[in-house]
Chain A
Amino acid sequence: MKKLLILGAGTAGTMMANKMRKHLARDAWEITIVDQFKTHYYQPGFLFIPFGMYNRNDVIKPKSDFFPVGVNVIYSKIDKIQAKESNVILEDGVVLKYDYLIVATGCKTAPEEVDGLNGELWYKDIFDFYTIEGAVALANYFKTWKGGELIINISELPYKCPVAPLEFAFFADAFFTERGMRDKVNITYVTPMSGAFTKPRATKMLGELLEQKNINLVPDFAIMEVNNEEKKIMDYGGTEVKFDCLVSVPPNLGDEVMERSGLGDDMNYVPTDKHTLQSTAHENIFVIGDASNIPTSKAGSVAHFAAEILEENLMCAIEGRPFTGSFDGHANCYIETGYGKGTLIDFNYDTEPLPGSFPFPGLGPFGLLKVSRMNHYGKVLFRWIYWHILLKGKEMPIDSEMQMAGKKL
């Protein structure tokens, strides 16, 4: 029996297990997937929890609901990848051999990387919303918060779902307005980027939205430390911002497995060919999702588009053909802007987010770089699509390759 081993059963790993089981004959290929947890978290839902729109139960399901028949599932922490020997070692010492390996271990927050971030005030006046624990703690905090300086800070690039902290800011504006206390809450968005986003048109559009909603912007802020006594964040350049409540996006790092295995860069991301999705160091290792270092957004939608390419290229490798799939870095992100409305961006390695309509040129129903009620429904719908279509690796009516039709230059 040949062996395909998948590390990580999150968004990307689960999709790949479903896709590959369909291609590979059960009597010739054994597929095994490993994850440390039994619960699947719908991470995009974490954003809604602090504002009481979702609770814990809305964002969790057993991972076992999503694996196809005929895949071995192992719940264990992964200790190490021995790429030269084509072995993976689990925490309890069990050795798994593979012919092909898919790395899909994602990335996670590392608050300990910033001095003082997870100090005395952690989960008292300082929170994250990138973990279920942080999102739930913040929901409880907001219930009785009297207002003051609300600071939203991104520690460092890259981090997953690059629009999530902006959405958080928009939601906070709407939330405190609806509570009749917006005048008591001063919202400031403090970012290492030079504006609200990285690419010119989206930056302009999203920057204007911040302004309209009376949210202050502090750009080019590279955080050095959090001062818990004086409740302020300080950057290397000497800028200081005071907070009453700090909502932080801590550094996002790949899993320590990569460090232990000598497979990661200085943030534990795995160097990956951005078009073929093959590891740049080992021919029989492929990388998908947040775990890779490819220069596009770390998002579920990206993992979904990449999954189609990886499916194709893995079959090429297995059947000894040259790669035919080439990933273009396609990302498609709905952005909640509050009050039941949203906007949408669609882009890839070479094309920045542009205005227009999606997915059907001229028709939409979604508007690119426009604020509309429809775009908000897109995001709401995404949760249903995620559980029922995306994870199961089913086809979606959207091209994996970014389309120029419908976009205005």
Chain B
Amino acid sequence: MATKNYGGVSVDVNDEGYMTDSSQWTKKVASGIATDEGVVLTDKHFEVIDFIRTKVADGATLTIRGINKSGVVNAKEFYQMFPGAPLKKSTKIAGVPKPESCI
């Protein structure tokens, strides 16, 4: 298993760079990952990240539909905040596993 260093904190990550131990996550770590992803975090970002961490801790699956209904942001804003692949980016920054799309 690889480790990465964000602002002096060392965290365990998988080969795609997703944290494998969510408890190692701090806001500082989040900012570090965000920088790698080309995202500058605002308070709004942290509200979204908070929602994602809570959802995942509850065992829920993350979907764009779920985010859109979250009351925190709508889907369009979500795409603007995490451009490109918002679910993949936001989960990486939130220190939770990449959402598996199962079909």
Contacts and interface: CB of A to CB of B under 8 A. Distances in A.
B59 to A, nearest CB: 10
Given A156-B65, A266-B66, A297 B103 contact: yes
Contacts of A198: 101-103
B65 A267 contact: yes
Contacts of B65: 156, 251, 266-267
A222 B103 contact: no
Contacts of B101: 157, 192-193, 198
B75 interface: yes
Given A158-B102, A198-B101, A295-B102, A236 B78 contact: yes
A272 B65 CA distance: 20
A236 B65 CA distance: 12
A199 to B, nearest CB: 9
Nearest to B76: A236
Interface in B61-101: 63-66, 69, 75-76, 78-79, 83-86, 100-101
Interface string A342-370: 00000000000000000000000000000
Interface in A243-296: 251, 266-267, 295-296
Contacts of B100: 295
B103 A224 contact: no
Interface in A152-199: 156-159, 162, 192-194, 197-198
A320 to B, nearest CB: 29
Nearest to A251: B65
Given A198-B101, A296-B102, A237 B75 contact: no
A395 interface: no
A134 B95 CA distance: 43
Given A157-B103, A266-B69, A297-B103, A220 B79 contact: no
Contacts of A156: 63-65
A340 to B, nearest CB: 26
B84 A222 contact: no
B84 A224 contact: no
B78 to A, nearest CB: 7
Contacts of B102: 157-158, 198, 295-296
A238 B76 CA distance: 10
Given A222-B75, A224-B75, A266-B69, A236 B64 contact: yes
A85 B54 CA distance: 32
Contacts of B63: 156-157, 266-267
B64 A222 contact: yes
B103 A237 contact: no
A335 to B, nearest CB: 13
Contacts of A295: 100, 102
A393 B65 CA distance: 36
B16 to A, nearest CB: 12
Contacts of B79: 222, 236-238
A297 B103 CA distance: 5
Given A158-B103, A193-B101, A224-B75, A237 B64 contact: no
Given A236-B78, A236-B79, A159 B69 contact: no
B76 A220 contact: no
Interface in A214-240: 220, 222, 224, 236-238
Nearest to B69: A266
Nearest to B103: A162
B69 A237 contact: no
B83 A237 contact: yes
Contacts of A197: 103
B15 to A, nearest CB: 13
Contacts of B86: 236
Interface string A288-323: 000000011110000000000000000000000000
Contacts of B78: 236
Interface of B: 63-66, 69, 75-76, 78-79, 83-86, 100-103
Closest A-B pairs by Cβ, 4 of them:
A162-B103, A236-B79, A295-B102, A237-B79
5 contacts: A156-B63, A193-B101, A224-B76, A237-B79, A267-B63
Given A251-B65, A297-B103, 20 more contacts: A156-B63, A156-B64, A156-B65, A157-B63, A157-B103, A158-B103, A162-B103, A192-B101, A194-B85, A220-B84, A222-B64, A236-B64, A236-B78, A238-B79, A266-B63, A266-B65, A266-B66, A266-B69, A267-B63, A295-B102
